């Protein structure tokens, strides 16, 4: 791929400026000038600025042309063929991301441009440091068939969509206040905007967006400087499952606030017993649940009196094997979102 050299040659030819004269204006040797014209050298920032000043050509344009040439050379060294490069790009789900308007591909026919657009979306220096970046900044709870790459693409999209949200300051007392208001909100019909605004009221960014196909992530939590952020999917379409994940992330926030400043926790497994127990207790208080079990015939009334959605109750009863997932009790009380 050509760099800026051929564009500079066209400029000099058009304005009848000799290469020798232009080299003198730049205070470089004729040999260096010849290397620039023939794209055999990379332009320094100083030279880009000097050429822009002498020609009136936008320095950003010069830089972009040179950058594209460098990327092209890098990709030729890294990949044996265009087919291999295309396969690599597709592993980042660029077609699905474009379809969902997560990423803008400026020239779908150019693998080099697609790579540049991908790097811009990922917000990293180059693809070689991607794995080490994930290891440093993201804590994935491994399980079979998990796809860390797709999960990060989802997180990055959520980051972009929430970057300009203005929100009040967060303090640790906000969690308990939020949990109390959630006891009211969770009994209403599921409303994404209501939930987002409720979390915003207490200084927490909540964003709900389904992940890429094949990704089984349900949620993650992080702290950006001092602002808590929770990203959620609706991977499970039942209201009780969604709220379990939401409470799970809130319990992480409540107990791991400082840890979350350095790592993003990805909720991608069911093995965090302590956090799971805390989440279940927020959904149905242990003392209320014991009362339900000891007075089983009146379980619906007890749930209603304690602001417990019936879908929470029957989902827990099914999870513990007290009723079947195919039973009428479960099917009639499960709420979809």
| Alpha-carbon dihedral sign for residues 281, 335, 215, 232 | negative
> Within 10 A of 90 (CB to CB), how many other CB atoms are there?
12
The string of DSSP codes covering 250-290 is HHHHHH-TTGGGT-EEEE--S--HHHHHHHHHHHS-HHHHH
At 266 the three-state DSSP class reads strand
Sequence-distant (≥ 6) Cβ neighbours of residue 221 within 8 angstroms: 228, 229, 230, 231, 249, 250, 252, 253, 260, 264, 265, 267
Q: What angle do CA 136, 234, 301 make, to 5 degrees?
A: 120
Task: Decide: helix, strand or coil at residue 40.
Answer: coil
- Quick one: pLDDT at residue 316? 96
Q: Is residue 163 part of a domain?
A: no
Shared domain for 88 and 32, answered yes or no, is: no
Phi, psi of 23, deg, nearest 5: -60, -40
Q: Do 62 and 187 fall into the same domain?
A: no
Instruction: Provide the mean pLDDT of the chain.
Output: 91
Residue 9 lies in a domain: yes
Instruction: Decide if 156 is inside a domain.
Output: no
pTM for this model (two decimals)? 0.86
Residue 134 lies in a domain: no
| Mean pLDDT along residues 231-260 | 93
161, part of any domain? no
Distance CA 257, CA 174 (A): 13
Q: Taking the mean position of all CA atoms in its chain, how far away is CA 45?
A: 32
Domain co-membership, 181 together with 326: yes
Confidence of residue 271 (pLDDT cuts 50, 70, 90): low
* pLDDT tens digits along 94-132: 999 999 999 999 999 999 999 999 999 999 888 888 888
* Comparison of pLDDT for 137 and 140, the residue scoring more: 137
- Token readout for 268 is 């991608």
Give the residue numbers spanning the domain of 104. Answer: 80-122
Q: Is 267 helix (H, G, I), strand (E, B) or coil?
A: strand
CA dihedral of 22, 24, 25, 28, whole degrees rounded to 10? 100
Kindly state whether residues 226 and 275 are assigned to the same domain.
yes
**Same domain for 328 and 180:** yes
Residue 129 lies in a domain: no
264-267 and 219-224 strand pairing: antiparallel
Structural domain contains residue 138: no
**Same structural domain for residues 192 and 298?**
yes
φ, ψ (nearest 5 deg) of residue 232: -130, 150
Tokens at 337, concatenated: 């979102």
Q: What is the CATH number of the domain that holds 44?
A: 1.10.260.40
pLDDT digits (tens, 9 = 90+) for 37-58: 999 998 999 999 999 999 999 9
Count of domains for the chain: 3
Q: What residues contact residue 271 under an 8 Å CB cut-off, 6+ apart?
A: 141
What is residue 143's predicted lDDT score, i.e. its pLDDT?
46
Q: At 1, is the pLDDT very low, low, confident or very high (cuts 50, 70, 90)? A: low
Is residue 227 domain-shared with residue 325, that is, in the same domain?
yes
- With tokens 């180059």, the residue in question is 126
Judge whether residue 272 has pLDDT over 80. no
* Judgement on whether residues 33 and 96 belong to the same structural domain of the protein: no
Shared domain check, 321 and 246: yes
The answer to the question of residue 242 being in a domain is yes
Q: Are residues 95 and 32 in the same domain?
A: no
Task: Say yes or no: 112 and 209 in one domain.
Answer: no
Query: pLDDT category, 284, cuts 50, 70, 90?
Result: very high
Tokens for 92, please give them: 């980042």
Shared domain check, 117 and 244: no
């Amino acid at each position: 791929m050509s760099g800026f050299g051929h564009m500079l040659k066209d400029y000099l030819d058009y304005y009848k400026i000799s290469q020798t004269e232009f080299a003198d204006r730049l205070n470089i040797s004729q040999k260096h000038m010849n290397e620039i014209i023939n794209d055999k050298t990379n332009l320094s920032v100083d030279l880009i600025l000097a050429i822009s000043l002498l020609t009136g050509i936008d320095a950003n344009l010069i830089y972009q042309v040179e950058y594209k040439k460098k990327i092209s050379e890098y990709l030729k060294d890294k990949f044996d063929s265009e087919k291999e490069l295309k396969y690599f790009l597709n592993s980042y789900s660029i077609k699905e991301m474009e379809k969902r308007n997560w990423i803008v591909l400026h020239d779908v026919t150019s693998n080099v441009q697609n790579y540049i657009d991908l790097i811009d979306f990922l917000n990293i220096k180059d693809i070689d440091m991607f794995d080490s970046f994930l290891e440093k900044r993201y804590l994935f709870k491994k399980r079979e068939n998990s796809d860390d790459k797709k999960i990060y693409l989802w997180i990055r999209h959520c980051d972009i969509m929430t970057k300009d949200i203005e929100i009040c300051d967060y303090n640790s007392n906000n969690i308990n206040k939020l949990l109390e208001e959630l006891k009211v909100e969770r009994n209403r019909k599921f409303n994404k905007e209501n939930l987002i605004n409720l979390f915003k009221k207490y200084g927490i960014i909540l964003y709900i967006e389904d992940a890429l196909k094949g990704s089984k992530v349900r949620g993650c939590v992080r702290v950006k400087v001092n602002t808590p952020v929770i990203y959620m999917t609706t991977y499970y379409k039942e209201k009780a499952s969604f709220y379990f994940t939401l409470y799970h992330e809130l319990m992480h926030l409540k107990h791991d606030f400082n840890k979350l400043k350095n790592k993003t926790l990805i909720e991608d497994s069911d093995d965090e017993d302590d956090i799971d127990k805390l989440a279940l207790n927020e959904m149905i208080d242990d003392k209320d649940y014991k009362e339900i079990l000891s007075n089983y015939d009146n379980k619906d009334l007890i749930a209603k009196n304690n602001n417990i959605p019936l879908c929470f109750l029957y989902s827990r009863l099914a999870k513990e094997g007290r009723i079947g997932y195919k039973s009428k009790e479960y099917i009639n009380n499960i709420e979809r979102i």
